[in-house]
Amino acid sequence: MHSRRSPASAVLRSHPGGSARQHRAAEPASGYRGRGHVSASGGGEAVLETRDLRVEVGAGRGVSAVPLLHGVDLEVRAGERVAVLGASGSGKSLTAAAVRGQLAAGLRSSGSLRVLGQEVLDVPGARRPGGLRPAAVLQDPSAALHPLVAVGAQVAMPLRARRTPRAEVRAEVLELLAAVGLEDPARVADGRPAELSGGQRQRAAIALALACEAPLLVADEPTTALDTVTQASVLEVLGERTGPGGPALLLITHDLAVAAALCSRAVVVADGRVVESGSLADVLAAPAHPATRALVDAARASGTTASASDAPLGTARSATLDTARSARGGVPA
């Protein structure tokens, strides 16, 4: 992420080789204290659950279907942050699109996709009830922000949809913009997206996603198009505003440093299949599948990771967020 050694090097140390067991047990999830999505036992209930999720293209009119996703099983519990890792073309973003209910025309899905226990596989995202519609932060914030509408008016839309009293909407918009680290939120609210820097637009997009009060936020490569300083500041916002006490996070990324900064659990996708899953620390320290080993090796070769370190995963996360706090001073992000 930065030109200096990445904090993710704490977990990307030399691995002894693949384990015979490729699917590891998931860690217990943290509780979601925000809107009552906590089970009686104290653990978070499943916010997202896919079973045998398949996506294919080309079926019909005498054309055989071409499978793109092959039986993806995925679970995100309340208050949890889960990374879906994979190289380009692995199927990770297609998985995210299916979860959001935004598959491209011509694609057909099957299997099961449940949000808060409700089956929504065949329901496009725009037609789902608000509580079952994941919020999204995409690689390009312009995909979420209308270029001709003031930022504040866009953040206000989900508030008005929930019938927030008119007198309270402006105050809530400014509070959200301030919460994601935007200075002078009133100026930002009254301006258009083109008046903001790339990092500021991404923060505004996060504010819009948070305004939806969805139980799940899907972030698909949210920092890829940003410079390294701005990447760190956006990660800080996501780290502070998701997880326990806020929406669960499904992070789609090829960047192991980004995953290490935010997530405790990882699912690795290759060729449209889940090939490895478990604790992020375990997956990165001893990758079992060739696709995972390739991601780790590529990160080392690119210079974004350093040599062996005994620091725990939590130290790597803290270092990344500390970098965001120290690097932001005086720099529009």
The two three-digit tokens of residue 164, written as one number: 């927030």
SS3 (DSSP) at 247 = coil
The confidence score (pLDDT) of residue 295 equals: 93
Nearest 5°: the CA angle 170, 176, 181 is: 130
Is 164 inside a domain boundary? yes
Distance CA 222, CA 93 (A): 12
Does the pLDDT value for residue 116 go beyond 50? yes
Q: Let me know: does 114 contact 120? Beta carbons within 8 Å.
A: yes
- Residue 328's pLDDT band, with cuts at 50, 70 and 90, is very low
Element (H, E) at 318: helix 313-327
Per DSSP, 180 falls in state: T
Q: Let me know: does 71 contact 52? Beta carbons within 8 Å.
A: yes
Q: Which residue has the tokens 């923060």?
A: 203
The confidence score (pLDDT) of residue 64 equals: 84
SS3 (DSSP) at 238 = helix
The two three-digit tokens of residue 210, written as one number: 């948070």
Alpha carbon separation from 196 to 13, 115, 151, 167 (Å, rounded): 38, 34, 10, 26
Is 237 inside a domain boundary? no
The confidence score (pLDDT) of residue 226 equals: 84
Per DSSP, 266 falls in state: E
Q: Higher-confidence residue: 64 or 311?
A: 64
> Which amino acid does the sequence have at 89?
G
pTM, two decimal places: 0.79
Domain of residue 162: give its range: 144-213
Per DSSP, 217 falls in state: E
Strands of 66-77's sheet, edge to edge? 66-77, 46-57, 107-115, 118-119
Does the pLDDT value for residue 255 go beyond 80? yes
Q: Which residue has the tokens 């039986």?
A: 71
Is 77 inside a domain boundary? no
Bridge partners, residue 22, by sequence: none
Query: Rounded mean pLDDT of 38-42?
Result: 31
Q: What is the pLDDT of residues 195-232, one digit of tens each?
A: 999 999 999 999 999 999 999 999 999 988 888 888 88
Lowest mean pLDDT across 90-99, 250-259, 292-301, 302-311? 302-311
Is 150 inside a domain boundary? yes
Bridge partners, residue 46, by sequence: 77
Q: What is the mean pLDDT of the chain?
A: 80
- Residue 304's pLDDT band, with cuts at 50, 70 and 90, is low
Q: Is 179 exposed, middle or buried (0-12, 13-18, 19+ CB in 10 A)?
A: middle
Is 55 inside a domain boundary? no
Three-class secondary structure assignment of 58-126? CCECCECCEEEEEEEEEEEECCCEEEEECCCCCCHHHHHHHHHCCCCCCEEEEEEEEECCEECCCCCHH
Q: What is the pLDDT of residues 134-144, one digit of tens each?
A: 999 998 888 88
Distance CA 298, CA 76 (A): 27
Lowest mean pLDDT across 16-30, 176-190, 195-209? 16-30
How are beta strands 135-137 and 118-119 bridged, if at all? unpaired
Domains held by the chain: number: 1
Lowest mean pLDDT across 49-53, 126-130, 188-192, 286-290? 126-130
Q: Which residue has the tokens 């806020």?
A: 246
Length of the chain: 333
Q: What φ, ψ does residue 50 adopt, rounded to 5°?
A: -115, 140
Does the pLDDT value for residue 35 go beyond 50? no
Per DSSP, 215 falls in state: S
- Residue 19's pLDDT band, with cuts at 50, 70 and 90, is very low
The two three-digit tokens of residue 323, written as one number: 């970098």
Query: Rounded mean pLDDT of 237-250?
Result: 93
- Residue 299's pLDDT band, with cuts at 50, 70 and 90, is confident
SS3 (DSSP) at 36 = coil
- Residue 59's pLDDT band, with cuts at 50, 70 and 90, is low
Q: Higher-confidence residue: 93 or 227?
A: 93
